[in-house]
Amino acid sequence: MVMDNKKTPAIMFQGTGSGVGKSVVAAALCRCLKNMGYRVAPFKAQNMALNSYVTADGREMGRAQVFQAEACGLPPDCRMNPVLLKPTADAKSQVILMGRPVADLRARDYYRRARHHFHIVKEAYDSLSAEFDIMVIEGAGSPAEINLQETDIVNMRMAHYANASVFIVGDIDRGGVFAALKGTYDLIPDRYKFLVKGHVINRFRGDISLLLPAFEMFRKFNPVPIAGVLPWFHDIPTDEEDGVFLDKIETEGGPDKINVAVVGLKRISNFTDFLPLSMERDLAIKIARSPGQIETADMVIIPGTKATTMDLKFLEDTGMDRAINQAAHAGKMVIGICGGYQMLGSEIDDPHGSDGPPGRYRGLGLLPLITCMESQKTLVLTEREIHWPTVLGNSPLTVSGYEIHMGATSPLEHWGTGCNPLDTDTDDSPDRRNPIGFFSRDGMIMGTYLHGIFENHEFRTKLLNFLRSQKGLPPVTQRMNYRREKEKNLDRLGDWFARSMNLKNFLKMAGILS
């Protein structure tokens, strides 16, 4: 029975620090509750992430809340993440409120606006929570950051506003989990401690019988019990935001595998683009952080970035720009996504400093394109019919995804002389829309603004089988359907939480069940 309260019942996961697994734990509970028949929605008041997504109404939100929305069986809604901070190259963050970019602010200036931002957060939460039976809320970082507690809008102040049952998540794999849990609880302001119902130990591996005696010992000096222990898993792919997620998409090599190098840009964004590739068994994916890792690849992917021009300089400083050019001239496949697409061109013109210091920048020169940075951000879900004869043959293919970018990219020359547009219905007439991307005359270099392009089953199948043919390997006729596989993995994630946590007991601790 759902508890009776004037506010929608809410369960909140806060953490002993960043990267302890709050996002995944929240997604897992979302799936459990959905499968129990509850109408459940996720919420995170303030998110700092370069991994973002576009909603159906053209607004931007953090990718973790998109993943949690999928776990709830819901379309993404910017009310689930009303404040998004995207760090920039000059110690600032782009501030996005209710899915719209409003300013680039330094930390001190951002915190001065905490009262205004919390007003936006409360309005979004009230509007969203009124439509659901239960809310699953995620905190950010740790509530124990005592220097930030006065301007907090995402941890205990949010928990108090929502009257949420709070569970503090600690990562035992880091070591010192009991100290971290106690220290976090002790540093929470006393007026909020009544909201904390339990602690969750995450990423445990080993013999749990050796851990259990510590629970009673812990209760002797901490009034809040251990609610449960979640074991480490490696076999359930999840969307995550932290840069440490990059290590999870790397896969092992082998003689019959396609070697893919994803260039490890310093300010990489939207790296979940490559999760579908990491789930293909005939691929070996490495995050390339040196020229040598690019030289051995069959395909090089330059990902998105929050600061295209600054990451161009990073490639130059590391020598990876030369390695990418050498791979292209050796006939290797090179693909650029979003900022990586802009880098493939001859020039980037940023007169107003929208992406970094104002100026004109030389690109990698692999496609005869120029990108003009603009102050207006493109945020749109996109579906296009594309042709890329080298990979797709003579049959056009419809692909879908989303665009998040500053600037527009166009050819330096008349189309068809140096490169071709991906879109089947695009030519150089002034009334035509901008192409979603271009490919080189030999078809081995392609750039696109379309995030999520590798989620398209037929596109991914044809691309990977083309690469297999280049290595003399037979095609793979039956590939996993990423979108169907994602649904299965969400169910597995929910089962992982329910099995490990004793779900009924956990929901009683949270006040959801009587």
Distance CA 358, CA 367 (A): 23
Amino acid making up residue 70: E
Strand ranges across the sheet with 83-87: 46-48, 83-87, 93-97, 100-105
Amino acid making up residue 343: M
Distance CA 498, CA 508 (A): 13
CA 394 vs CA 228, 390, 398: distances in Å: 56, 9, 13
Cα atoms in the 13 Å half-sphere on the side-chain side of 13: 27
Distance CA 483, CA 463 (A): 17
Question: Which residue in the block uniquely carries the two structure tokens 């295209």?
Answer: 308
Q: Give the three-state DSSP class for 136.
A: strand
Query: Which candidate, 162, 173, 195, places its Cα nearest to that of 20?
Result: 173
Residue 423 DSSP symbol: B
Active site residue 387: no
Distance CA 225, CA 220 (A): 10
Q: Is residue 454 exposed (0-12), middle (13-18) or buried (19+ Cβ within 10 Å)?
A: buried
The DSSP element (H or E) to which 185 belongs, if any, is helix 177-187
Distance CA 140, CA 62 (A): 12
The DSSP element (H or E) to which 27 belongs, if any, is helix 22-35
263: tokens are 């260039």
Q: Is residue 379 exposed (0-12), middle (13-18) or buried (19+ Cβ within 10 Å)?
A: buried
Catalytic residue among 30, 72, 338, 419: 338
Sign of CA dihedral 416, 420, 426, 431: negative
Distance CA 112, CA 484 (A): 44
Distance CA 250, CA 231 (A): 21
Active site residue 117: no
Cα atoms in the 13 Å half-sphere on the side-chain side of 6: 1
Distance CA 402, CA 272 (A): 13
Distance CA 328, CA 231 (A): 43
Distance CA 67, CA 51 (A): 11
Catalytic residue among 117, 199, 405, 451: 451
Query: Which candidate, 498, 362, 388, 378, places its Cα nearest to that of 441?
Result: 388
Distance CA 123, CA 58 (A): 20
Distance CA 311, CA 309 (A): 5
Q: Give the three-state DSSP class for 348.
A: strand
The residues annotated with a catalytic role in the active site are 338, 451
